[in-house]
Each structure stands twice: as C-alpha cells, then as structure tokens.
Amino acid sequence: MNVHQSLGETQGHQSGFVQNPTQPPESDPERWAKVAFNEIISELSTTTTNKNVAANRLSFKGGQLVGAGLLDCSEAESRLMNAARSIGLPELEARATIKSGLNRGCQNPRFPEDRPGPVTGRQPRQNSTPGRPTPAPPPAEDPEAVERSAELTRLILEASTDALGNPYLERKRVDPVETLRQIDLGALRSILGENHGYTYYLQQGLILLVPAWIGGRLSSFEMIDVTGKKFWLKGGPKRGAYWRSALFPHGDGTGVTFHIGEGASTVLTATGAMGGIGVAGFSNNNLGRVSVYIRGRFPKAKIFVLADLDANGHPDRYAIQAAKSVHGWLVKPRFEEASHERKTE
C-alpha cells in the first residue's frame, strides 16, 4: 500500500453542526444551555404570528442542546409544549411539530463554542458590566493560508516515510500504524522554507506527522518531536479536524467500534488493547465535533470517548459532553496508585 492509499479516505457525509463561532465558550456549558433554553421558551411564549413555524424552529434549537448532552429531552419537550399551549397551538399539532424539531436538532448538536450569539438567533446583547468590553470574535480562517497549508501538507506527505521506529511512539510504547508518517526535522524545515521559524522548539531528529482530516479531505498535520512537543502546521484549519488509525469502513458502522480521544498515542493505546478504530481530535474542545461527525457517518457504530483528567483528577468536561452527544461510552484512565508522577492521560 503506498502513502496515498494508506492515507486515503472512504466517502461519506458530514454532520451539520454549526461551524461559525463568534464568541468564546462559557466556563459552565450546562449553565449556558439553561440560559439559552430559557430564551427559547421566552421567545415561543411571546410569539403572535406564524406560531407553528416558530414552534418548529425553536424546538430545533432546543434539540441541538439536547443532542449536545446539555439538556434533558423530556424536560425540553414538556416546557416547549407548555409554551405552545400558552399561545394557543392545538395539542396534536404542537406535539407533532415539537417532536419533529427536537429530533432534527438532536442530529445537529450545538455546543457553547459553536454559538453565533444567543441560541434563538437574536443579535447578541452587549455586555452590561461596566469596564468590561464584549469579547471580540475569533478571526476567520484566511483562505490563502488554508490553501498554502494544503499545498505544504501535500509536499510534506510526499517527503515523509512510514513511522516505523519513531522515537515518540517508542517512548509512548505504542506501535506505528500506516496512517502515521514521520520526517526528519531538517527536511521538514526545508519544505516549510521561511515559514519554519515556529518549529525551532522541536528537538532535532525524526518528527512524527499526524495527518488531519476534515470530512474526507486531508487538510493539515500535527507535528510531534521525541519529547512530546506538538506543533500545528501554520495556517491549517483545526476546527473539526481528526486523525484516524485506519481507513474508515463503508456502511453504517454495524459491528464497528470507535475510540475517540485527544491524541494519537491515547487512541492507539485503546485500540491496541481493545481493537477497533482510533480517532484523535487533537484538542479537548474538538472532541464533540469529531464525535458528532463519526456518529453521523456511522450511526450504528459503538463509540467510546477517551477522557483525559483535569487538574482535580476528574474526566475532562468536553469528553463528558462528547460522549453524551452521541450516546457513547465515557472512558477515563486509571493509574497505578504507587506512582507519584501526576498523570492526566
């Protein structure tokens, strides 16, 4: 199998989660969801025209919160029904409309970091706290930088070799797979040219390349040196990106198990012990998007979300949300009690 075959991708569809954030996530996602859903109920309760259309649209918004694991479905349906009754919608019509909206929304989960403002779609309120300006939206991806990243990804891929004997993987005690590559740091800097300055912190030697996909398209690389320092290819899109340990199968995922975690070594540890396909989301706040994509593409698959531990030794909240959003299993690490080293993954 050549490099392009081993890094190939079967065709499938992408899930429809929101991808244009303009504000940072709240520190408490469930609190954000509660406030957002209260706004949904408030808007529906004050609707005077096109009531059925409004009920369907707002039920969809509520369903997005349910699908993200941030809101109980029965509570959401009950409150939406009460609001629909209060504006005079007939019982049977309201129930059918709300169920339809909730079901569609659940298939398109929405997380705090995905929001373009309040969930109802109204314009964001200005921050009223004196002396505290409203946060600026994150910069949009530069199309030219994305295109340049894609070209660099192609060039790096052509110059890379398989990851056999990679020092980082050996340190992590995981076996290489065909979808991982490696390249000498000198060769990498030569390809990057004048843009290689941000790689100065990488240790000399073989650099592990973790290819990043968005949907079915290879878009960028994560680069890891022997010490575990990680760098993202400059300009490469990261939102919704993932790496997978093997080619995706065809079909609806029947009989297939996915292990979704932050890093390649984490998911390879899981697949080495339990089999299945590993999928890395590269960061904790990307786990939800990647999990939803996998669930949308493989609705019958079994999904395990691998949680790193936070500073208090608890499973990371993003991993918890991701597992809830796809009705998957949450897995947390267990370490030897005799070890005095603080471990999180």
Same domain, 281 and 167: yes
- Assigned domain for 266 exists: yes
Residues 308, 163, single domain; the answer is: yes
Report CA torsion sign: 229, 257, 272, 309. Answer: positive
The reply to whether 297 and 151 lie within a common domain is yes
Asked whether 65 and 33 are in contact (CB, 8 A), the reply is yes
Separation CA 66–CA 110 (nearest Å): 9
Residue 226 lies in a domain: yes
Q: What local confidence, expressed as pLDDT, does residue 117 receive? A: 39
Does 124 map to a domain? no
> Which residue range(s) make up the domain with 85?
29-114
Neighbours of 238 (CB within 10 A): 17
Global pTM reads: 0.62
Q: Verify that 107 and 161 share a domain, yes or no.
A: no
Give the residue among 325, 341, 337, 245 at the shortest CA–CA distance from 289.
325
**What pLDDT, on a 0 to 100 scale, did the predictor assign at position 122?**
38
Return the sign of the alpha-carbon dihedral for residues 249, 250, 255, 259.
Answer: positive
> Residue 196: inside a domain, yes or no?
yes
- Indicate the DSSP class of residue 201: T
According to DSSP, the residues that pair with 183 across neighbouring strands are: 207
Q: Would residue 12 count as lying in a domain?
A: no
pLDDT of residue 4: 44
Looking at the structure, do residues 150 and 270 belong to the same domain, yes or no?
A: yes
Same domain, 170 and 310: yes
Domain identity same for 200 and 160 = yes
Burial tier of 184 (Cβ tally within 10 Å: 0-12, 13-18, 19+): middle
Looking at the structure, tell me whether residues 233 and 85 fall in a common domain: no
Domain membership of residue 109 (yes or no) is yes
Residue stretches of the chain with pLDDT short of 70: 1-29, 68-69, 107, 109, 111-143, 194-199, 215, 335-345
- 284/168 same-domain check: yes
Asked whether the beta carbons of 182 and 206 are under 8 A apart, the reply is yes
Same domain, residue pair 158 and 306 = yes
Domain shared by 78 and 175, yes or no: no
Query: CB under 8 Å to 339, separation ≥6 — which residues?
Result: none
Tokens of 198: 């941000």
Q: Identify the pLDDT of residue 196.
A: 62
Overall number of domains in the chain:
2
> What is the per-residue pLDDT for 217?
76
Give the residue from 88, 79, 223 showing the smallest Cα distance to 149: 223
DSSP labels, 284-333 = GGGHHHHHHHHHHH-TTSEEEEEPPB-TTSSBPHHHHHHHHHTT-EEE--
Contact yes or no for 262/310 (Cβ under 8 A) = no
- Name residues whose C-beta falls within 8 Å of residue 121's C-beta, 6 or more positions apart in sequence: 61
DSSP codes of every residue in 45-76: HT--SSHHHHHHHHHHHHHHHHHTTSS-HHHH
- Domain finish residue from 68, 94, 114: 114
Q: How far is CA 322 from CA 267, 291, 298, in A?
A: 15, 6, 15
234-284 residue pLDDT tens: 777 888 889 999 989 888 899 999 999 999 999 999 999 999 999 999 999
